[in-house]
Structure 1
């Protein structure tokens, strides 16, 4: 019996030795094959047709390209893929396969539909538009205002023009400098408007599911993931499959320009609080009109930039919104917009964000209570867009006081596209901004934008003191360079006060200087925006353009 066991052990050892030797031989042959494949690839690259061109000709081609397009170096170094929702999603699979297995991925998908001007538009509206120097900002401006510049160490911004058809642009790997934007039309490529319109098909119905499936398989390589769309589409539910670890991910954004109603997706922003999620490098999160949970681990990664625009159906208690902020004390840029807010369940605790420079907040009036709990000593940009019931200047002054009088340079009040003339309530029992009480605390203000406020008090506060007034007050906001107003209702004296303000701050070159008040000379205005405020007339607009470098004016609707 023992002898038989010994023979069995010897046979098994011999078999194991044969297996080891065979595996070693197979591994050696696989390495040799990989080396040969690499040599073949290098040989094919060496034999590339472009190498047959003389160096002098290549140099001239590059010089000519730079003369016509200064950014051609970034375009020529990029891999460019332009597709539509009706195209095959297998193209994405192809690019992912070509990108290899280790290169970090920089992914951008933009899905936009811009409708042409309706043929039924009234002639009076067309006439008013023709008098406007520049149209009002598009509906995307508020939602995506903090990501207009897409420049990173991988990506460079390229000039663009409006898109006229639905399109999707996908960024392949970020190993080479790339910017694929749906508005690019100036580089040599088939223009989207030249392509025939494709009716909805199975490709459009399932495009999102197929594309997101391939992309999610490579989530471990994501370094930057941006998905933006302006309207709901049939396969948008595919986004809920985005879940798992992303050890390289630095920036994550899923944004919709249209508010919609979603079920509670089980995706990364909705992960339970006790879920272990590997996101060690995540610094930038933007979720706009997409579902998320206040307790998601995604919001506990010490973010530097956070942009949240909640769904209209979302109603969070105020203390839970503050909880999100409290878990990211290194924030430098914070944007919060909640239409539905409930009173706090737990007591609110003061929070200091020592590095926060840009703070944008809007939506429900209860959010003003959140501002009262914040200390922002590094604040430079403040944007408020509330349904206000109380004087907003008290909230602002309290914030500046608690924060130790930071050097605020940019202020926006009810100027976003989410606001309108009803954002502030004026008249009997309404709320009026006391600019003369607010401006003395903002000596460093460079840019001011206001919406839904009476025009005359604002312009009067920025003008120089009257001879009969107390000269000790001096100039308010002497460093102001940009002034924007939207839906600021003007009365009979509105246009007169505007001209007086510009005459005082921007005297005609060679015919006078800005008057000094208490030894302070006001900075000249460089930009003036007026959207739907007053009917100025072409003569006034021309006069303003002669005094101010950039003037943007649109006239109010007569039927408003």
Structure 2
């Protein structure tokens, strides 16, 4: 409809016509709006009816698909497996993933019934938790393990940082909201040391095959914390508590009594313990609950309680628990072969420290012991294969020290007070393969080391570490076994040595003796493949001496014939691994040259250049791998 054109200016007649036209147009608009509304209503009813029909079809389809899935599952080969065969599959999985029961029991109702009916699947407890998490996780695990299956227990209790420390340290990235994490494999209990950095709260730590651990001077540092196969990750138990006042009060109550609850559950089953490993990063409110670890443990093979830092002096040293048992106690520990006690109370005369094969002791800072009693502990275990001792306070002997032979000892690690040298001077170790000395000596250590090897008829020593761990501080003056070396001639009798770690010693003197032999002399340590140096004092020609050493032992392709002119015509083994930490300023060109000659090179340059005795500005601390 075309618009009506009214004349301008309007007249009385045209105004009357316009009013009549306006009334007619309004009536037409109203009629059209009613027709549109009616059409839209019919369309809405059609759409609704169609949607209802579609939804009914979708529901029917979903029911058929569910029936299809059920039928396919019912006729699947897995459903037809005999129960005995499925149990064996579960057990094979359990060997590689101790926490697999949590995953298997979540697949379906039949698998859950089967997993819950197999106590063996629940016999290995792997738990990383905190005192704020529910302790009932331990109870649930123990209940599912039955009443007869031996228990393999590993628990790492991580204490949350205090408010003061958390305000000054950056908070680690959160990957989960859990306070309790189950892990998948063992931690390498025999190698863990109190210097190990605990995992941040809420981060899952599945070890092998998910995590690799790098050992450096007796200290384990967790690296590569990532899961490569999340489908095999165990379930997460517990959740982070809200921060409101009521729950905060409840959390404090849980934190205060976590140890008493969890340890009580565990001690009830002490007769089933086969392995017991309990580690905590620092003293927690209910640490006194460890006192309840008493009783017969006829199946126990390995026992470890370790703290990552020294406990406070308020902890009594005469706890009534197994490591502090009286000498005349009659607890059944017939199978016990491995004991690790670090920064927890123990007595030198306890029957627990007898007839062992592996022993690791790190005394509390407030513990004092005489050298003859340290030797008594060693002599009480004539079949030792691995021995690690660290005592901060050692008094002179009261009773005379007598020579002690450990014919099967292969690994010997000793550190702490200088009086421990007297203990070393009494030992005879004919099978020794690894020595780690970290003693604050007052006299040169090479005399004691040479005498030990001579008394032991020159055992096949493959690993030697001198003050490498204590030199971790890096910068500054360090007085220890390494810096007490006045002559490296004792290395001439170590033809089987493959690994050498040294801290706090003069840089150049060691490199010179390991370099090209003089005249017709033979190579020193001809089988050496790994050399680590830390906090070794270097002079202006330190980098040049290191280059000469590597050039002599790892010549390029054109230098092979020249190498045969030294050492009686026999070339030494090539260096495969070199670490130089806080020793000399090498420079990127030297490091690049070293990397072309050696398979693995790790270099950390010092904070200052000791060769010119002037601070470096800005501080320089780079690592090259």
**TM-score in terms of structure 1 length:** 0.73
For 1:531 and 1:364, how far apart are their aligned partners in 2? 25
In structure 1, what is the equivalent of residue 546 of structure 2? 498
**2:413 pairs with 1:369:** no
In structure 1, what is the equivalent of residue 450 of structure 2? 397
Query: What is the deviation of 1:552?
Result: 1.4
**2:356 pairs with 1:306:** no
CA shift in 2, pair 1:472/1:554, >3 Å = same
Q: Which sections of structure 2, spanning at least 5 residues, go unmatched? A: 1-69, 82-92, 103-126, 170-186, 214-221, 243-247, 609-614, 620-625
Secondary structure (helix, strand or coil) at the match of 1:321 reads: helix
In structure 1, what is the equivalent of residue 201 of structure 2? 165
In structure 2, what is the equivalent of residue 147 of structure 1? 191
**2:268 pairs with 1:217:** yes
- Asked whether the equivalents of residues 385 and 415 of structure 1 are also in contact (C-alpha less than 8 Å), the reply is yes
Query: What is the deviation of 1:74?
Result: 2.0
Structure 2 counterparts to residues 225-244 of structure 1, below 5 A? 225-244=276-295
Secondary structure (helix, strand or coil) at the match of 1:473 reads: coil
Higher RCO structure, 1 or 2 (CA under 8 Å, sep 6+) = 1
In structure 2, what is the equivalent of residue 282 of structure 1? 336
- Asked whether the equivalents of residues 107 and 170 of structure 1 are also in contact (C-alpha less than 8 Å), the reply is no
Pick aligned residue for 2:584 from 534, 542, 549: 534
- Asked whether the equivalents of residues 363 and 391 of structure 2 are also in contact (C-alpha less than 8 Å), the reply is yes
**2:432 pairs with 1:410:** no
More displaced stretch, 303-312 vs 255-264: 255-264
In structure 2, what is the equivalent of residue 6 of structure 1? none
CA shift in 2, pair 1:321/1:111, >3 Å = same
Pick aligned residue for 2:487 from 434, 441, 444: 434
Structure 2 counterparts to residues 7-406 of structure 1, below 5 A? 52=74, 54-55=76-77, 74-75=96-97, 78-79=100-101, 83-112=129-158, 146-147=190-191, 163-165=199-201, 185-186=227-228, 187-188=230-231, 189=233, 196=240, 201-261=252-312, 262-264=315-317, 265-300=319-354, 302-406=355-459
CA shift in 2, pair 1:278/1:359, >3 Å = same
For 1:445 and 1:170, how far apart are their aligned partners in 2? 34
Pick aligned residue for 1:455 from 492, 507, 526: 507
CA shift in 2, pair 1:225/1:76, >3 Å = closer
In structure 1, what is the equivalent of residue 54 of structure 2? none
For 1:167 and 1:237, how far apart are their aligned partners in 2? 27
Query: What is the deviation of 1:299?
Result: 1.0
- Asked whether the equivalents of residues 185 and 191 of structure 1 are also in contact (C-alpha less than 8 Å), the reply is no
**Per-residue CA shift, 1:52-107, capped at 9, x if unaligned?**
48348999xxxxxxxxxxx9982387335664432211121111011100000000
For 2:535 and 2:72, how far apart are their aligned partners in 1? 57
In structure 2, what is the equivalent of residue 554 of structure 1? 604
**Per-residue CA shift, 1:40-62, capped at 9, x if unaligned?**
xxxxxxxx999748348999xxx
Query: What is the deviation of 1:242?
Result: 0.6
Structure 2 counterparts to residues 456-475 of structure 1, below 5 A? 456-465=508-517, 469=518, 471-475=519-523
**Per-residue CA shift, 1:382-408, capped at 9, x if unaligned?**
110111111111001000111111111
Query: What is the deviation of 1:532?
Result: 1.5
**Per-residue CA shift, 1:184-211, capped at 9, x if unaligned?**
6443448989975776532222111111
- Asked whether the equivalents of residues 165 and 192 of structure 1 are also in contact (C-alpha less than 8 Å), the reply is no
Q: How many residues align?
A: 457
- Asked whether the equivalents of residues 111 and 169 of structure 1 are also in contact (C-alpha less than 8 Å), the reply is no
For 1:360 and 1:483, how far apart are their aligned partners in 2? 18
Q: Which sections of structure 1, spanning at least 5 residues, go unmatched? A: 1-47, 60-70, 122-142, 150-160, 172-176
CA shift in 2, pair 1:82/1:484, >3 Å = closer
Structure 1 or 2, whichever has the larger Rg, is 2
Structure 2 counterparts to residues 516-531 of structure 1, below 5 A? 516=564, 517-531=567-581
Secondary structure (helix, strand or coil) at the match of 2:520 reads: helix
- Asked whether the equivalents of residues 199 and 205 of structure 2 are also in contact (C-alpha less than 8 Å), the reply is no
For 1:73 and 1:425, how far apart are their aligned partners in 2? 44
In structure 1, what is the equivalent of residue 114 of structure 2? none
More displaced stretch, 530-539 vs 76-85: 76-85
Pick aligned residue for 1:444 from 480, 496, 515: 496
In structure 2, what is the equivalent of residue 174 of structure 1? none
> Which structure 1 residue ranges, 4+ long, deviate > 6 Å from structure 2?
48-51, 56-59, 117-121, 167-171, 190-195
Query: What is the deviation of 1:504?
Result: 1.1
For 2:403 and 2:339, how far apart are their aligned partners in 1? 23
**Per-residue CA shift, 1:445-468, capped at 9, x if unaligned?**
100000011111011111012xxx
**TM-score in terms of structure 2 length:** 0.66
CA shift in 2, pair 1:95/1:192, >3 Å = closer
In structure 2, what is the equivalent of residue 154 of structure 1? none
